[in-house]
Structure 1
Amino acid sequence: MNVSNMLKLVAVSLLAFLLVSCSAPNVEHYKNTSPNFDFKTFFNGNLKAYGVVQDFKGELTRKLVVDMKATWDGSEGVIEEDFIYDDGQTQKRIWKITLNDDNSLIGTADDVLGIAKGKSQGSVFHWNYNVELPYDGSTLEVNFDDWMYLVTQTRLINRTSIVKFGVEVGEVTLVIEKI
């Protein structure tokens, strides 16, 4: 094999590796896992979350506590989230959720740009949405790639990758508990 063909092979192999390593898992992969995550059952009533925010280097930047209250009328739900950060800053987000028969859902909130779309399979729920975050006296549009893993019927772990221009710029990890 000549040098030119060898370089092409290396380049194609590297590109294939990068594409595979950048691809996200599919929620369907978790179809047979348990306990079964039922969004409406878990997000019903009062919940409490404890979490951390990390920057792109993995360094802790903030800690937070979130009080949540979720109510339902059929397949239409409202989840009120009250965030309290360790620096004293507060934030409120009110989700309006619509559940579909196929375990998918859509959601909207004031700081969410467009519609959040998600789906659960087995013990996992995944959704994706764009958010306008306060940043240095202005706002910054980022994508939240949100994965929830049901550990028990009353506790889940939520990992959110915060992405800007296709690059992860931060991460939020929460433990959410029914109270």
Structure 2
Amino acid sequence: MKLKRPLSLFAPLVLAAALSGCAGPQVQDYAQEQPTLDLRSYLQGCLQAQGLFTDRAGRVVKRFHVRMEGRWQGEEGTLDEHFTYSDGSTQRRVWRLRHLGQGRYSGQADDVVGEARGAQAGNAFQWKYTLALPVDGRVWEVALDDWMFRMDERTVLNRSAMSKWGLHLGDVTLVFTKDEPGATTCR
């Protein structure tokens, strides 16, 4: 009988914690926000981004620059990303994107496990995907909840929460800048 009382006190705390995990923003919350973020037009041509990774304590672990080129033909697109990190290392990721209609997108890349799924409304876009991330000679599969917000004609802010087994590992923050219209080659 003594166990029932502590368990009955603990159950509401577990339920409250579980419910609070479900109460996050939805992409439709931003449906009226402007300027509209249409990935097919924004991710067309040359872009640059500056970013950083912060650990769960908020410490900057790594800074980076990304040079990108996006190309779309109808509902199919590619985004070729070239990363240069503050420690001098480099990385390349090529996204294969597909517009599924009604603001929904899917994407694949060599280091993405399975398929990324995303939705756009107003000035916001949300991706969810699993990334195969090399860490100290091992590969960790980490979940990303990736949000993009269009600020103006040339700027998008991007913040990704990274987790494993439901535990928050850190955040990736980027500022995308679209090159001036008419740029013929990506720097």
Verify: 1:15 aligned to 2:14, yes or no.
yes
Inter-CA distance 135–30: structure 2 relative to 1 (3 Å threshold): same
SS in 2 for 1:40: helix
Unmatched 5+ residue regions in structure 1? none
1:103-162 deviation per Cα after TM superposition (whole angstroms, max 9, x unaligned): 101000000010000010011000101110111012111111100011112101100011
SS in 2 for 1:100: strand
List aligned pairs for 1:2-151, cutoff 5 A.
Answer: 8=8, 11-12=11-12, 14-23=13-22, 24-151=24-151
Which piece of structure 1 moves more, 23-32 or 60-69? Answer: 23-32
Residue 94 (structure 1) shift: 0.1
Residue 16 (structure 1) shift: 4.3
Unmatched 5+ residue regions in structure 2? 180-187
Residue 5 (structure 1) shift: 8.0
Q: Which 4+ runs in 1 deviate beyond 2 A?
A: 4-11, 14-17
Residue 6 (structure 1) shift: 10
Give the whole-Å Cα distance in 2 for the aligned partners of 1:36 and 1:154.
12
Give the whole-Å Cα distance in 2 for the aligned partners of 1:87 and 1:161.
22
Give the whole-Å Cα distance in 1 for the aligned partners of 2:43 and 2:153.
11
Residue 17 (structure 1) shift: 3.4
Residue 26 (structure 1) shift: 1.2
1:64-88 deviation per Cα after TM superposition (whole angstroms, max 9, x unaligned): 0000000011110000000000000
Residue 57 (structure 1) shift: 1.1
Give the whole-Å Cα distance in 2 for the aligned partners of 1:147 and 1:87.
26
Which piece of structure 1 moves more, 29-38 or 106-115? Answer: 29-38
Cα-Cα RMSD: 1.7
Letter in 1 for 2:17: L
Residue 11 (structure 1) shift: 4.3
Inter-CA distance 6–167: structure 2 relative to 1 (3 Å threshold): closer
SS in 1 for 2:139: strand
Give the whole-Å Cα distance in 2 for the aligned partners of 1:102 and 1:139.
35
Letter in 1 for 2:141: E
SS in 1 for 2:32: coil
> Structure 2-normalised TM-score?
0.88
